[in-house]
Amino acid sequence: MVRFVVPFFFLSAAVASDIGGKRVSNELIVLGWFTSLLIRLAECDSFHLGRYLLDTTVPIVVLFLLFSLHALGAGDIKIFSMVGSFTGISFCFYVIWFSFLLAAVYAVLRLAFEGRLLSRITGNARYLFNALKGREKNLYEWKVDGRGTWVRFSVPILISYLCCVALHFAAFI
């Protein structure tokens, strides 16, 4: 139970850090990793360091491609890593999946409401096509239509985490 409650506080602090300072504090992430290590040591008779390291590093490795395409920030990946360190990689993948789904729905609704959906889709498709062909050498220009559409991804991560915890305790995941 503690492994599911404590991350909520770290995720809440990460959201506050992300919104207030426009970045997630590395100190917060390291403290989260250390706390999860202590909790795992306290809960288990036989602690497996290898399993802990996998739960912590797999989200970083899996999501690195999205980071390199500038589709996901380093802080967001570190948040997922921290979630994995507390809950294990299987649960973390549910949180990742729900987070992307929630952020996508939010972004599409926001862009449609603002009348910018089509220009963003064509701009993103053009960038992705050129990047895959090796023609795109510049960083992704997120102001395709002259205005940015930042989504503080820490917010969907927190909401998704809460949904996954509820589903877990309802025995759905």
**Distance between alpha carbon 104 and the CA centroid of its chain, in Å?**
13
pLDDT at 146 over 60: no
- Euclidean distance between CA atoms 99 and 169, whole angstroms: 19
Query: Span 3-32, mean pLDDT?
Result: 92
Query: What is the per-residue pLDDT for 127?
Result: 77
> Which residues lie below 8 Å from residue 151, measured CB to CB, with a gap of 6+?
103, 106, 107
Count the domains in the chain. 1
pLDDT digits 0-9 by tens, 38-71: 998 888 766 788 899 999 999 999 999 888 877 8
pTM for the full predicted model? 0.82
pLDDT at 46: 67
Q: What is the pLDDT of residue 118?
A: 87
For residue 90, give the nearest of 49, 64, 67, 62 by alpha carbon.
62
Residues 23-57 as b or e (16 or more Cβ within 10 Å = b): ebbeebbeebbebbbebbeeeeeeeeeeebeebbe
Range of the domain at 157: 2-169
